[in-house]
Chains A and B, each alone.
Chain A
Amino acid sequence: MSRTSVIPFGPQHAAFLEPFHLKLQVEEEVVVGAEMSFGYNHRGMEYAMAQDFKRTQFLCERVCGICSFHHSSAYVQTMERLFGIEAPERAKLVRMIMMEAQRLTSHLLALGHIAETVGYENMFMQFFREREEVMTLVNRISGGRVHYSMNAIGGIRKDVTYEGLKDIGETMDRLEPRLLDLRSIVRKDRTLRKRLIGVGVLSKEAAFDWCTVGPTSRGSGLPHDIRLTGFDGYGVNGVKFRPIYYDEGDCYARTMVRMDEVIQSVDLIRQGINLMRDGPFLNAVKGNPPAADAYGRVEAPRGELMYWVRGKNEVQLDRIKLRTPALVNVPAVSAMIKGARVADVGPITVSVDPCICCTDR
């Protein structure tokens, strides 16, 4: 005899940072079915962002607090395509450096979050201590911990000084050994491995079917990474980059993808600093966006972030559409969760790094 009971997970739950609702059907602490609902955080961003293309470059940062710079980079990149101009190389490198810095903050948050969900409070604190180092660094560089507001259509608003670059380099030197330490802990810790390995498996085919992106798909053996093709900054002469992927498809694989990408980000930031040359940093644009459309993609911490903009020769935009990575990653949770234990629901949902601000917009 088995009896199904319903457990509501969220919208407010200790394991979730943001509100979304999971209705779990449970038999003896085993999940047999799950229903998700969203929309608790819907703010009508796509409408608001179509009102004034110049203000949108600041508004788009407010879509999400942990990938704000990726949003604004994707937006300005799209607008540059629409206007048919190219940002100077120095601006692209600054964007790349700041994007990688934000990837550090975001991934360290996600890693800390997953440690916290499996009850590993100490590791959570370690990750957040390192994250704080990056947060204060970006604050020194841009003047904001969360919203950097450095981008402008055609480049960056203000150049990064020589001292600023030196500061970034020194912080990375301080950070790298500590991150490597943390990686070896994540690799070796037995209790953590026991809780994450084999949990919430998403097969390669399912990952493709659910259109997943970012660490979620790379944890399932799909080496998609828009940094290879999408964003201009990584194409600037000589940035060496290779996507990191794991084949297992479980929570541990997704965690390890993030852990390795943290180290990789440090390396990419160093490469960016070494490639920096003096030069112009802004090709200003004039007039309103033409009545045409353009795509722009960047690799946000959670995966491919795509903007599609259609102008109409006015200050307003005809349509702006955001395809955020969380929109495809979070629904894929329902494919991972069947047959999991209630204790694993937290780690599974957190392992895709659900950003509900992005999903709901």
Chain B
Amino acid sequence: MTDAITGLAMLIAVPLLIGLLLGIDRRLTARMQNRVGPPLLQPFYDLWKLFGKERRAVNQAQVSFAAASVLLQFTAFAVFATGGDLLVAFFVSGAGNLALALGAFSSRSAYGQLGGQRELLQVLAYEPVLFLVIFILGWQNGSFLSDAFGENLLYLLPLALIAMVPVVLITMQKSPFDIATAHQEIVSGVYVEYSGTYLGLLKLGHWFELAFVFGIITLFFSADDIVISLLGKSLIVLVFVFLAVLIDNSTARTTRGDMVFKTLAFGLGLTIINLVLLWIDVSGAIW
């Protein structure tokens, strides 16, 4: 019973926290660029305004795909929040991204097509890394159920955590890897043919996706004391957001091929090294 209540509380609280996190992200970005920046709650205002706008769509398929995307992302996050299987959540979230790309393809806009292709390419780049990280987490934990994580894995899996940096950059649409939504190249790519309420839906879907990805990151840390545990988890998330903003503000955008290659080489490389170290450790060689 208490589990159900915690799950329900998480379902409501975490998306709100993600909105707040995006607000922090925008303030932080602004401060790094010597600007004042928007109010902390600006992402909520934006979403509120989008939902208040006229409903206009290019075609019906587009609406279905937007709805599918947000529902799938929500399901992925819900599976995670209610203590479900991480692998299930991972695949559902991947399907949400696919729906986003299909929504872009369903319009005949050249920019939508390019954005859809690039979105798929991004999925190709970061999902293997995310999958491997989830795999290694579950293997160490002995279970893929998200509520079964009660152990501190940070000291066992430091490299796998670092491998999450490009994943977070891609999902947060940050500078070196924001190719699917590259504003100056393909005019927000996948989002270009959406407006009003449906754009708001996609943004909400993006919040759920972020909630899931940041959720995975929080699994790395755990402590017996619930307060320390929560503090540690929040700290990791904040450090990641800070890193993402820092990298965003000190790099230009890379190109498609570069993104795939770098993310895969960096992410998979680090995770596999971590895996090998652990495997040696199992046989009692290092620590």
Contacts and interface: CB of A to CB of B under 8 A. Distances in A.
A119 B114 contact: no
A37 interface: no
A194 interface: yes
A119 B182 contact: yes
Given A7-B111, A342-B185, A119 B178 contact: yes
Interface residues of B, number: 30
Determine the main DSSP class of A at the interface with B: helix
B110 interface: yes
Given A7-B111, A118-B252, A343-B255, A191 B185 contact: no
Contact of A120 (B29, B113, B175, B179): B175
Determine the main DSSP class of B at the interface with A: helix
A195 B253 contact: yes
B183 interface: yes
Contacts of A7: 110-111, 114
Interface in A335-360: 341-343, 345-346
Nearest to B247: A191
Contacts of B254: 191, 194-195
A129 B255 contact: no
Nearest to B249: A122
Contacts of A115: 252
A10 to B, nearest CB: 11
A126 B258 CA distance: 26
Contacts of A192: 252
Nearest to B117: A29
A15 B176 CA distance: 17
Given A117-B184, A191-B254, A343-B185, A122 B32 contact: yes
A129 B252 contact: no
Contacts of B35: 125
B203 interface: no
Given A5-B110, A119-B175, A120-B252, A346 B184 contact: yes
Nearest to B179: A343
B95 interface: no
A302 B225 CA distance: 65
Contacts of B252: 115, 118-120, 123, 189, 191-192, 194-195
Nearest to A190: B251
A117 B252 CA distance: 9
B184 A14 contact: yes
A118 B258 CA distance: 14
A118 B253 contact: yes
25 contacts: A6-B110, A7-B111, A13-B187, A15-B184, A117-B184, A118-B252, A118-B253, A119-B175, A119-B184, A119-B252, A120-B175, A121-B29, A122-B33, A122-B248, A123-B252, A129-B34, A189-B252, A194-B258, A341-B255, A342-B114, A342-B185, A342-B186, A343-B179, A343-B256, A346-B184
Given A122-B33, A125-B34, 11 more contacts: A116-B184, A119-B182, A119-B252, A120-B251, A121-B175, A122-B248, A194-B254, A195-B254, A341-B255, A343-B185, A343-B253
Interface of B: 29, 32-35, 110-111, 113-114, 117, 175-176, 178-179, 182-187, 248-256, 258
